């Protein structure tokens, strides 16, 4: 019960190489997809902490077909509490032109 109370949902726009993409530059439908109720938009350090704590139960990601690179990629290292990987399954997949919106659930 305690774990369910701590679970989080996140929404991000990422390029193919994992760099953050500004949500305001996405098409209206993609912005609406990411604006689902209760979804946070964490920084890369917050995201690493959430993943390490195992509290994320849903991720909405809009994959933008670009390569951006740089320091703001979502690639901060983290270690899970039990040292094991956890799986996310792609649930709903939606297309917004050349942008792919995916809902990943644990």
What residue ranges do the domains of the chain occupy? 2-105
Checking if the pLDDT of 63 tops 90, the result is: yes
State the pLDDT confidence band at 74, using cuts at 50, 70 and 90: low
Question: Which range (38-42, 68-72, 93-97) has the least confidence?
Answer: 68-72
Specify whether the CB–CB gap between 33 and 80 falls below 8 A.
no
pTM of full prediction above 0.85: no
Residue given tokens 């019960």 in the structure block? 1
User: Domain 2-105 is classified in which CATH homologous superfamily?
Assistant: Dihydrofolate Reductase, subunit A (3.40.430.10)
Query: d(Cα 13, Cα 49) in Å, to the nearest integer?
Result: 19
What would the pLDDT profile of 3-61 be if each residue is shown by its tens digit?
A: 444 678 999 999 988 888 999 999 999 999 999 888 899 888 888 888 888 888 999 99
How far is the CA of 32 from the CAs of 9, 16, 44, 88, 103, in angstroms? 15, 21, 22, 22, 13
């Amino acid at each position: 019960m305690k774990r369910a109370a701590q679970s989080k949902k996140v929404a991000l726009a990422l390029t193919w190489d994992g760099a953050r993409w500004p949500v305001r530059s996405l098409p209206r439908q993609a912005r609406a997809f990411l604006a689902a109720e209760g979804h946070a938009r964490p920084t890369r350090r917050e995201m690493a902490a959430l993943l390490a704590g195992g509290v994320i139960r849903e991720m909405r990601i809009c994959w933008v077909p670009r390569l951006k690179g740089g320091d703001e990629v979502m690639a901060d290292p983290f270690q899970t509490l039990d040292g094991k990987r956890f799986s996310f399954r792609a649930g709903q997949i939606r297309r917004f032109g050349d942008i792919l919106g995916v809902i990943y659930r644990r």
